[in-house]
Amino acid sequence: MSAFTYRGGVLHAEDVSVETLAEEQGTPLYIYSRSHLIEQYKALAAAMKPVKPSIYFAIKSNSNLAVIRTLADQGAGADVVSGGELYRARQAGVPADRIVFAGVGKTAEEIDYALREDIKFFTVESEPELERIAGRAKAMGRIGRVAIRVNPDVDPHTHKYTSTGKAENKFGVDLTRAERAYELALRQDGLEVAGLHMHLGSPIMSPTPYAEALEKVKPLCESLKREVETFRHLDIGGGLGISYSPDQAPLNPRDFAAAVLPALHDLGLKVGMEPGRFITGNAGILVTRVQYIKDNPFKKFVIVDAAMNDLLRPPLYDAHHEIVPVRQTEETFFGDVVGPICESGDFMAQGRELSAVDQGDLMAILSAGAYGFVMASNYNTRGRAAEVMVSGDRVEVVRERETWEDLVRGERMPEW
Residue 327 is classified by DSSP as B
The single residue among 152, 207, 276, 284 that binds ligand LLP, judged by CB under 6 A, is: 276
In angstroms, how far apart are the furthest CA atoms of the chain? Answer: 71
Options 43-51, 68-76, 233-241, 250-258: segment touching ligand LLP (CB under 6 A): 233-241
Choosing from 342, 409, 414, 415, which is the catalytic residue? Answer: 342
Nearer to ligand LLP, 275 or 315 (CB): 275
Question: Rule CB under 6 A: is residue 322 a binding residue for ligand LLP?
Answer: no
Nearer to ligand LLP, 59 or 224 (CB): 59
Question: Rule CB under 6 A: is residue 199 a binding residue for ligand LLP?
Answer: yes
Long-range contacts of 109-118 (CB under 8 A, 24+ apart): 109/83, 110/82, 110/83, 110/86, 111/136, 111/144, 112/136, 112/140, 113/83, 113/86, 113/87, 114/83, 114/86, 115/140, 115/142, 115/144, 116/140, 116/142, 117/86, 117/90, 118/142
Per-residue binder mask for ligand LLP (CB under 6 A), 68-87, x = binder: -----------x--------
Question: Rule CB under 6 A: is residue 102 a binding residue for ligand LLP?
Answer: yes
Q: How many residues bind ligand LLP (CB under 6 A)?
A: 23
Question: Rule CB under 6 A: is residue 203 a binding residue for ligand LLP?
Answer: yes
Torsion sign across C-alpha atoms 8, 12, 15, 17: negative
The single residue among 74, 162, 355, 380 that binds ligand LLP, judged by CB under 6 A, is: 162
Instruction: Report, in Å, the least distance between residue 235 CB and ligand LLP.
Output: 9
How far is the CA of 400 from the CAs of 59, 384, 389, 396, in angstroms? 19, 9, 12, 10
Question: Rule CB under 6 A: is residue 34 a binding residue for ligand LLP?
Answer: no
Nearer to ligand LLP, 60 or 382 (CB): 60
Q: Is 221 a catalytic residue?
A: no
The single residue among 28, 165, 239, 314 that binds ligand LLP, judged by CB under 6 A, is: 239
Nearer to ligand LLP, 69 or 199 (CB): 199
Nearer to ligand LLP, 301 or 317 (CB): 317
| Range 278-307, binding ligand LLP (CB under 6 A) | 278
- Do 18 and 28 contact (CB within 8 A), yes or no? no
Gyration radius from the chain CA atoms: 23
Tell me the C-alpha distance between 114 and 388, whole Å.
30
Instruction: Report, in Å, the least distance between residue 297 CB and ligand LLP.
Output: 34
Question: Rule CB under 6 A: is residue 237 a binding residue for ligand LLP?
Answer: yes
Tell me the C-alpha distance between 363 and 328, whole Å.
10
Can you tell me whether residue 193 is helix, strand or coil? strand
Tell me the C-alpha distance between 107 and 85, whole Å.
14
Question: Rule CB under 6 A: is residue 202 a binding residue for ligand LLP?
Answer: yes
329 burial via Cβ count (<10 Å: 0-12, 13-18, 19+): middle
Give the residue numbers marked as catalytic: 342
Binding site residues, ligand LLP, CB under 6 A: 58, 60-61, 79, 102, 162, 164, 199, 202-203, 237-240, 274-278, 313, 317, 370-371
